Amino acid sequence: MLARKENISIKEAKMKGKKRAAVLLGALVAVLALVLGGFALAANPEQVTVTAPVAQTIRLSVSKNTVNFGGGSLDPETGSYADSLTATVRSNVDWRLQVEKNRDLTGLDPANVIPSGQLTFTLSSTNPRVTATQASSTQFGATGSPTMVAEGTKGNNIDVSVNYALTVTWDESPDTYSATHTYTLLTVGDGLVTQIPALTISTAAGIVVSRTASEDTMGKELGRQFSRYPKAVYLASLTIFVFGLIPGLPHIPFMALAMVLAGCAYLATREQAAEKGKEDDKGKKQEPGPGPEPVEHLLAVDPLEVEVGYGLLSLVDKEQGGEFLDRVRSIRRHFAMTMGMIVPPIHIRDNLQLKASTYRILLKGVKIAEGELMANHFLAMDPGDVKTRIEGIETEEPAFHLPAVWIPERKRDEARLAGYTVVDNVTVMSTHLSEVLKKHGADLLGRQEVQNLLDHLSKSSPKAVEELVPNLLPLGIVQKVLQNLLREQVSIRDMLTIVETLADYAAMTKDPDLLTEYVRHRLARSFISPHLDENGVLNLFTLNQELEDTLVRGIHKSDHGTYLSVDPGTADALVRSIKNAAETAMVKNLQPILVTSPQLRRHLKKMVEHFVPSLMVLSQTELLSDMKFKSMGEVKLNGRA
């Protein structure tokens, strides 16, 4: 006979018992926090499954045998215990294997005997030489012992599996569960019993204090408070109903309370709906007729707008792949960096009154530019060196009024190979908008925009701003000076130099035109340097001395300032001569620049800017001593340079 026992030491069993008690206590505390649910659970014990050591006695009745056993160890932390032993039989005669239950079974503590349990045995073997008889399960404490018998014929290496499972159920005898049960009742349960009255008293005090502004009785006010928010009552009813579904909690009281609350919430909802219907009917009867429509919003004028026909919506709608909005952001950012002025937001909208392929640009509600595009076509422009002409629909480029042709997409590569500059519709419209901003940027610079620029400068140079405005110059004169600079494409980004120059000469004159000339002299390098050629030379035209003297004599003063008076014949001849000189420079891909005296410069610029908008007119004082100059000719009245 061979026997095998597995036992757990008393110390280890106690430690694991304490661990089980701690886990159970944590679970009970979490449940008891739910007030009614926790208290009900603490008063209703539940079954706890534990495991304990079990000893097997195995008898083998054969004349000669060799039996080897193997199996796992007992783990008292699991809910039930199952294990198996394998008997390997080597026998030269018929043999009989008998397995009996050992009834010696103890709990976690030697003083606490587990009163009942269930042990199940099975014998199994895949060897055809083995036959097995399985006994029924028997409760501990019953008379007799369950016996498993396996019989077989002689042979070697015959494996027989002995499988058993043990489940032990606690009762209410003094043991670990009873201690936990008593502990939770005396701590958590007693704590809840103590705190619930305090919570009730606090709630009652809050209700009494908060109803001081009400004229109704306590009962009416309390009922109104509960019925005013039926959704909260519905939620409370649902919560209590869920509590009633939890095993171990009293189902009938929870279900009944949930139904009562749900009924109250339903009645409150119906009452609110009826009251709302009465109020709506009353409001409809007393609703006054429509008053005057507010029209103040119609007085607002957008500084800059772009209107497009419905055929161009795909260019401005990002959902359709339009890129124009991104181009507008780039234009505003570039204008701020180059000219020093922040362009106000540009309002883009569709206008069904326009032709499908037409767009127009409005400044403060007034049209200042327009253009027409062709869908699914590209604009091809001749830069001047095209030798092979390409067939297309002749048109005029809207920004610079240059001759161009519309070509389909299939001819785009052919046009580029021929030397044409080919652009898409978005580029045409964005280029036009950019040129309009350069030309009319001064009209977008109001007093508020100037004040914003000064406020930004005051963060880094507060003293310069404090000295100028309003002590030396009013804001309006500063605005006019900045507008004059923008009209001649002079950047106002260097606001510190502009403000300091105005402060230096404000005591001498308040004339915005003269102050502009002083500022231009200080900023000369910034707007002349970009026009130097690769050798650092500035190519320019000069004005015939006799002609210049004649023009200077035509400058007269009035109450509104100075002006240039020239007879129409002289003015027409002068414009033709300057226009010819400008075309000569542009053919050489140079910026047309004309130099004259300081007192004549601004008058001559105003005279010819409409006819030759690309002409830059400089005064002799703006030519710095360290710059190199080259004269391309002299402008005379005979029309030649």
Question: CA 397, CA 403: separation in Å to the nearest integer?
Answer: 6
Structure tokens at 213: 């502004």
- Assess if CATH 1.25.40.10 describes domain 445-530: no
Question: CA 164, CA 389: separation in Å to the nearest integer?
Answer: 101
- pLDDT given at position 240: 86
pLDDT along the chain (641 residues), means of 10: 34 40 36 39 35 36 33 38 60 62 40 45 68 48 51 67 54 47 71 80 77 67 73 86 83 87 85 77 60 73 94 91 93 95 94 94 95 94 87 93 93 93 95 95 95 96 94 96 95 96 95 95 94 92 92 87 88 93 90 94 92 93 90 80 52
- pLDDT given at position 587: 86
Q: Using an 8 Å Cβ cutoff, are 493 and 442 in contact? A: no
DSSP 516-551: HHHHHHHHHHHHHGGG--TTSEEEEEEE-HHHHHHH
Strands 593-596 and 616-619: parallel
Q: Using CA atoms in the order 86, 91, 94, 98, what is the torsion angle rounded to 10 degrees? A: -30
What DSSP state is assigned to residue 299? G
Q: Pick one of 3.30.420.80, 3.40.30.60, 3.40.50.12280, 3.40.50.970 as the CATH number of 304-440.
A: 3.40.30.60
For 339-352, the three-class secondary structure string (H helix, E strand, C coil) is HCCCCCCCEEEECC
Buried b or exposed e, range 514-537, using 16+ CB within 10 angstroms: bbbbbbbebbbeebbeeeeeeeee
For tokens 């036009």, what's the residue?
432
Structure tokens at 111: 């003083």
**Per-residue model confidence as pLDDT tens digits over 583-641:** 999 888 899 999 999 999 999 999 999 999 889 999 999 998 888 999 999 999 865 45
Give the Å distances, CA to CA, from 176 to 32, 391, 550, 596, 623: 19, 102, 121, 111, 104
- pLDDT given at position 45: 36
Q: Using CA atoms in the order 409, 410, 412, 416, what is the torsion angle rounded to 10 degrees? A: 180
Q: Is the full-model pTM beyond 0.75?
A: no
- With left for phi above 0 and alpha for psi between -120 and 50, is residue 585 left, alpha or beta? alpha
- pLDDT given at position 84: 59
Q: With CA atoms as reference, report the closest residue to 325 among 423, 426, 398, 397.
A: 426
Letter for the amino acid at 227?
A: S
Instruction: Could you please state the CATH topology (level 3) that the domain comprising 532-641 is classified under.
Output: Rossmann fold (3.40.50)
